[in-house]
């Protein structure tokens, strides 16, 4: 591959500077329409190219991988998550997989913090009132929300993004609690003023706001199921900027409608854009269109990582962001 142009297929429209750089470096096929490619189109591309650059909207499963040509040797994902790719099958077929970790930490943490601030203070309801022309002036009892200073924030997953959320939240006076697969180093706990809970159930019963910051894996699917959601206080809020599949969305919707939870701020959903209409019409819920990583800076850095991974691989070396079995 090093002596001939590397053939690359990109499944979605990327920021123009990223596409321009790819044109300079590779024999690249770009998606000018920005509509998600069909399985047939992706399969066709996998027969012709050395590298496929998919995004979260593409499900690269075992069936699709079985149709790949022998020349396909790298799936350079444009995104940090890789739960939409059957990595184990790809590796088995001799296809490396890379991702773009780290560059979206601050952007996603900013979005989580925005939701943590917005939902308890009922900002979505206030905005709608103005948009609908329903506001008749200030009132001492209108749109009463809750102060977040002094409240307990539970962080589910204290990885890079979870820690960035904790740093932001601490400056707003929130008390930091966390549940992780394992306890973080004492120095990190001291920096964040964070209390570790070995039992997720016990933490959920005590926090006022829950921020979900874990990836979607078989072990985290519906981690926040109906039973665990019922452990939370009826005055508690839940914020999810990670993966929608972590929450049982139907159970969450039922509890919000029944007043068993105070509200939610969601940027991701269990079934993608197919959001439960009974969730969409709730006034105590702020719903965003998966825009946690939607900054120019973040998306350009993602593109740079994809390019570096492809270049490094084409030069005969292991991509710096290669996904390995231990990460699965």
Same domain, 278 and 309: no
| C-alpha distance from residue 218 to each of 215, 222, 225, 314 (Å) | 10, 9, 14, 32
Nearest one of 216, 221, 164 to 188, comparing CA atoms: 164
Same domain, 21 and 140: no
Asked if the structure places residue 1 within a domain, the reply is no
pLDDT in tens, 43-92: 999 999 999 999 999 999 999 999 999 999 999 999 999 999 999 999 99
Domain of 42 in residue numbering reads as: 7-102+295-327
**pLDDT the model gives residue 3:** 62
Same domain, 93 and 112: no
Domains held by the chain: number: 2
- Which stretch of DSSP H or E encloses residue 27? strand 27-29
pLDDT in tens, 199-212: 999 999 999 999 99
**pLDDT the model gives residue 15:** 97
Residue ranges of alpha helices (H) inside the chain are 16-25, 39-48, 62-65, 87-92, 105-118, 123-131, 160-171, 186-192, 200-204, 226-231, 249-257, 277-280, 296-314
Query: Tokens for 214?
Result: 């874990």
Same domain, 160 and 252: yes
Strand partners, 218: none
Nearest one of 62, 25, 33, 24 to 46, comparing CA atoms: 62
- Exposure string of 315-326, with b = 16+ CB inside 10 Å and e = fewer, is eeeebebbbeee
Q: What is the pLDDT along the chain (328 residues), one digit of tens a residue?
A: 446 789 999 999 999 999 999 999 999 999 998 899 999 999 999 999 999 999 999 999 999 999 999 999 999 999 999 999 999 999 999 999 999 999 999 999 999 999 999 999 999 999 999 999 999 999 999 999 999 999 999 999 999 999 999 999 999 999 999 999 999 999 999 999 999 999 999 999 999 999 999 999 999 999 999 999 999 999 999 999 999 999 999 999 999 999 999 999 999 999 999 999 999 999 999 999 999 999 999 999 999 999 999 999 999 999 999 998 766 5
Same domain, 90 and 153: no
Spatial separation of the C-alpha atoms in residues 119 and 101, rounded to whole Å: 28
109, exposed or middle or buried, with CB in 10 Å at 0-12, 13-18, 19+?
buried
Same domain, 320 and 236: no
Spatial separation of the C-alpha atoms in residues 234 and 239, rounded to whole Å: 15
Same domain, 59 and 207: no
Q: CATH number for the domain including 316? A: 3.40.50.720
Spatial separation of the C-alpha atoms in residues 172 and 128, rounded to whole Å: 26
**pLDDT the model gives residue 67:** 94
């Amino acid at each position: 591959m090093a002596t001939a142009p590397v053939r690359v297929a990109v499944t979605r429209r990327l920021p123009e500077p990223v596409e321009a750089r790819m044109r300079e470096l590779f024999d690249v096929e770009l998606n000018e329409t920005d509509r998600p490619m069909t399985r047939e189109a992706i399969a066709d591309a996998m027969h012709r190219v050395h590298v496929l650059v998919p995004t979260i909207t593409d499900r690269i499963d075992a069936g699709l991988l079985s149709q790949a040509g022998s020349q396909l040797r790298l799936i350079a994902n444009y995104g940090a998550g890789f739960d939409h790719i059957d990595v184990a099958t790809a590796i088995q077929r001799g296809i490396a997989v890379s991702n773009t970790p780290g560059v979206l930490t601050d952007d996603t943490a900013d979005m989580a913090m925005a939701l943590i601030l917005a939902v308890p203070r009922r900002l979505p309801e206030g905005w709608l009132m103005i948009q609908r022309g329903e506001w008749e002036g200030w009132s001492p009892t209108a749109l009463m929300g809750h102060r977040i200073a002094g409240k307990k924030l539970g962080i589910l997953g204290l990885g890079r993004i979870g820690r960035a959320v904790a740093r932001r939240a601490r400056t707003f006076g929130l008390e930091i609690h966390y549940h992780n697969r394992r306890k973080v180093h004492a120095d990190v706990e001291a920096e964040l003023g964070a209390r570790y809970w070995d039992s997720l159930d016990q933490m959920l019963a005590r926090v006022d706001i829950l921020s979900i910051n874990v990836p979607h894996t078989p072990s985290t699917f519906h981690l926040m199921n109906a039973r665990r959601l019922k452990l939370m206080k009826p005055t508690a809020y839940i914020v999810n900027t990670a993966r929608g599949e972590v929450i049982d969305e139907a159970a969450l919707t039922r509890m919000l409608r029944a007043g068993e939870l105070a509200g939610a701020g969601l940027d991701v959903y269990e079934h993608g854009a197919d959001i439960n209409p009974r969730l969409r019409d709730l006034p105590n819920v702020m719903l965003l269109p998966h825009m946690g990583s939607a900054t120019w800076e973040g998306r350009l850095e993602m593109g740079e990582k994809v390019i570096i991974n492809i270049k490094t691989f084409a030069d005969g070396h292991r991509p710096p962001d290669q996904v390995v079995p231990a990460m699965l």
